[in-house]
Amino acid sequence: AVVSTQSTGMPAHKVLKSRKLRGHVSHGHGRVGKHRKHSGGAGVAGGLKHLKTNFSKYHPDYFGKKGMNIFHRRKNATFEKSVFLNKIWNLIQFSEDKIDNLTRKQELINNEEQVPVIDCRKFGITKVLGGQLSCDKAIVVIAKSFSAPAVEEIERVGGKCVIA
């Protein structure tokens, strides 16, 4: 039943359809089909049976296998420890003291005639990845492999990439 709320200015309470359908057996959902929970099967059930047309039309590669099986994949065999160029200056360590390290690095950066050589192999790093160098000082980087953006950036500042 609708409650009049003209004095409060609020809208009247909506009469739900279920009130009208009281006494009618199937509540408007039909006697034959019935209003059941998952009549066609829950989720993607029936993709190869009664929903085959939909799956073959809109999701053609949903079923079946694709690619090659590698039965005993050893991820350690293909793992490469890598470093980004913006972190490569962190590999240069002079001593345990942080402040001493920073001052000596700054002296190395400001020195025009001395070019630092960073051997990534000493740290177990095999690949140098791209990014922006933290300072525009020429450096020589020794590693097993380099990404194309890394080579481009090192050569931009006048440095060299040594593959070893």
Residue type, 111: N
Residue 102 sits at φ, ψ, to 5 deg, of: -60, -45
What's the confidence (pLDDT) of residue 11? 73
pTM: 0.56
CA distance 51 to 108: 70
Confidence of residue 14 (pLDDT cuts 50, 70, 90): confident
Among candidates 122, 101, 119, 103, which has minimal Cα distance to 111? 103
Q: What is the pLDDT of residue 13?
A: 81
Statement: residue 2 has pLDDT above 70: no
Tell me, what's the pLDDT at 17? 92
Q: What is the pLDDT of residues 21-39, one digit of tens each?
A: 999 999 999 999 999 999 9
Mean pLDDT for the stretch of residues 81-86 = 95
With cut-offs at 50, 70 and 90, classify the pLDDT of residue 94: confident
In this prediction, residue 8 has a pLDDT band, given cuts at 50, 70 and 90, of low
Which whole-number Å values give the CA distances from 31 to 18, 22, 26, 109, in the listed order? 17, 15, 6, 85
50 neighbors 40 (Cβ within 8 angstroms): yes
Confidence of residue 54 (pLDDT cuts 50, 70, 90): very high
The b/e string for 23-35 (b: 16+ C-beta within 10 A; e otherwise) is eeeeeeeeeeeee
Q: What pLDDT score does 7 carry?
A: 64
- Reported as a single tens digit per residue, the pLDDT across 102-111 is 898 888 888 8
Q: What is the per-residue pLDDT across 122-152, written as a single tens digit (0 to 9) for each?
A: 999 999 999 999 888 999 999 999 999 999 9
Instruction: State residue 154's pLDDT score.
Output: 95
